[in-house]
Amino acid sequence: MGLPAGQETLAAAERLLEQEGVVEVELPSAEQLVSEPPIEPLGRSGPYQSGVAYASSVLQSVRRLPDEVAVRVVVNGESFDEGTNAEAETAFRDYCRFRAEDAWRQAATVRQTGARQLWPALALAAVAAAVAAVCGYLGESVDGKAAEALLLVIAGIGVIAAWIIIWVPTEELLFGWRAPGHVAEVFDRLSRAKLEFVRRRTPDWLEVTRRGTG
């Protein structure tokens, strides 16, 4: 059984990116490179997503980002206009720079929050671990099964509490920032990508017009 159509499309886009460093985006017009599709009556988006949304989703899906990326924008021949393409490219780069800076700020905030919370968490974890150790020691030496069981339960809770207290800021410091950091890298690549506008080939168009910009 083959992959669903959406997954096949994504797999093909990933192969093109890995082999040639190119993301190909098909749009009704260059204006949709950044602008979102119209909203339908039931609140759903239109039949396509913006070009930058599609390109970023392809880059985020690959395991390793290429050092350089090219974006090939395939536009309907009837709406192919050099002036509109130039404006779309400027809007595309501005949008990608904004998203990259915003994602970097999110990543930095997560790391700073983790670092700020780490020392108080270490202190609380040490207290919880000390309570667990004392209760564990008393549980082994106290008379009575009920008291022993209660102290050992408290000791176990103390160990779990110490682990949770220390894990939350550690996770933010070491791992939590990586997701927004990856998004920032994706949009940084796109902001510096080479854009190529291509007229969709139809029976009415005998030549393909290309415009490459660095």
Express each pLDDT in 111-144 by its tens digit. 888 888 888 888 888 888 888 888 887 877 777 7
- Chain Cα centroid distance, residue 173: 17
**What is the pTM (predicted TM-score) of this model?**
0.70
Distance in angstroms (rounded) separating the CA atoms of residues 115 and 128: 20
Of 40, 39, 34, nearest to 56 (Cα)? 34
pLDDT digits (tens, 9 = 90+) for 58-71: 888 888 888 888 99
All structural domains of the chain with their residue ranges = 5-213
The letter for the amino acid at 111 is R
For the segment 48-98, what is each residue's pLDDT rounded down to a tens digit? 578 899 899 888 888 888 888 899 998 877 777 888 888 989 999 999 999
Cβ 213 vs Cβ 89: under 8 Å: yes
Q: Choose between 113 and 100: higher pLDDT.
A: 100
